Amino acid sequence: MASPATAAVENLPQVLLLLHPAAFTIFGEEHFTSPKFRFLKAYESSLPLDEFLAANARSVRALLVSAATVVGAGILDLLPELRVIVTTSAGLDQLDLAECRRRGIRIASAGDIYSADVADCAVGLLIDVLRKISASNRYVKNGFWATKGDYPLGSKQLRGKRIGIVGLGRIGLQVAKRLQQGFGCTVSYNSRKKKNPDQVPYPFYQDVRELAANSDALILCCGLTEQTRHAVDKEVLAALGKAGVIVNVARGAVVDEKEMVRCLVEGEIAGAGLDVFEDEPVVPKELMELDNVVLSPHSAVLTRESMMELARLVVGNLEAFFSNEPLLSEYEDD
């Protein structure tokens, strides 16, 4: 017979995990535990996913996912009691939002906890591309300073650059503030809607191509939706031009990656700082050779501090759900 303590744990509501969320792997599962629920781990089962879901369909009311867990109608069909999805991501492109809305499934995201870290990373990538920090780091470490002499001139100033931000949400606004107030850049933006000019004084461009034509660097901070998929296409890259730089901390598919790679290889744009890619973790091999391209492995959100805050937010959202209290970071459609 199960001990009272084991029985108490077994009676807790279950939160389904489809795949190992990134935060667990990086930070440790112990930070996500709670006396109010327990995790049911699909990835530990030897059953195929659909059989596992069918076996647990009636007991699962909450799902915890990461940015890499695609949840569409097929999975939702197998979980008829599901009422909330908590995601460790700020972006929600992995979730079928229309299906969730139709079924009355609520969503809690990572909200604002990564915004400052992602904004820092966007600025870091831009500085690195312009000032060639990674490239000159390689130059020194390869011993070329001693054998070939000074690093070739080519570094560009950040001060005074015209920055075009695509997506002036929580992250975009922080990028704008850093670059304008901290580095003397001018900022313009493109967003779904023009912001109230009393609160957001930057010039608005309805058309990304026009924004690119008036920018030295385009920084992508928007969510991935059907409207923003390949928003940076051949025409936008041409408008950005030979001296232009792309920084992407949004989602790889906001850019037509093939076209961007071609432009970088053929010198039709000046450089790129990329944290995200269309087919992660696959990165186009042409980019590995280019000194004007700085790459990071979708890690803009990953700081020790943000992971700690994430654990608290995930647990807080799930505890709120099981206590019938308002979610801490509920996503609301507008």
DSSP three-state, residue 255: strand
- 189: contact with ligand O=CC(=O)O by CB under 6 A: no
- How many CA within 13 A on the CB side of residue 156? 15
- 67: contact with ligand O=CC(=O)O by CB under 6 A: yes
- 114: contact with ligand O=CC(=O)O by CB under 6 A: yes
Alpha helices in the chain (DSSP H): 4-10, 22-27, 49-56, 73-77, 97-103, 115-131, 133-141, 144-148, 170-177, 183, 208-213, 234-240, 257-265, 304-322
Active-site residue, 280 included: yes
DSSP structural state of residue 120 = H
Which residue in the list 61, 106, 178, 251 is annotated as catalytic? Answer: 251
Active-site residue, 44 included: no
DSSP structural state of residue 181 = I
Largest CA distance in the chain: 76
- 254: contact with ligand O=CC(=O)O by CB under 6 A: no
> Rounded to whole angstroms, how far apart are CA atoms 333 and 152?
50
Give me the least distance between CB of 303 and ligand O=CC(=O)O, in Å please: 12
Task: Tell me, residue by residue from 288 to 317, as one string, x for binding to ligand O=CC(=O)O by CB under 6 A and - for no binding.
Answer: -------------x----------------
**Closest CB to ligand O=CC(=O)O among residues 301, 311:** 301
**Closest CB to ligand O=CC(=O)O among residues 158, 232:** 232
Handedness of CA 88, 90, 93, 96 (dihedral sign): positive
Q: Show contacts with ligand O=CC(=O)O in window 116-155 (CB under 6 A).
A: none
Instruction: Please list the residues that pair with 294 across neighbouring strands.
Output: 273
- 110: contact with ligand O=CC(=O)O by CB under 6 A: yes
Question: Binding segment for ligand O=CC(=O)O among 89-97, 99-107, 164-172, 232-240 (CB under 6 A)?
Answer: 89-97
Rounded to the nearest 10 degrees, the angle between the axes of helix 115-131 and helix 170-177 is 50
Q: Which residue has its beta carbon closest to ligand O=CC(=O)O?
A: 91
Give me the sheet containing 14-17, strands edge to edge: 38-41, 14-17, 60-65, 84-87, 106-108
- 89: contact with ligand O=CC(=O)O by CB under 6 A: yes
Active-site residue, 251 included: yes
Question: Binding segment for ligand O=CC(=O)O among 85-93, 151-159, 202-210, 211-219 (CB under 6 A)?
Answer: 85-93
Catalytic site residues? 251, 280, 298
Where on the chain is the footprint of ligand O=CC(=O)O (CB under 6 A)?
Answer: 67, 89-91, 110, 114, 301
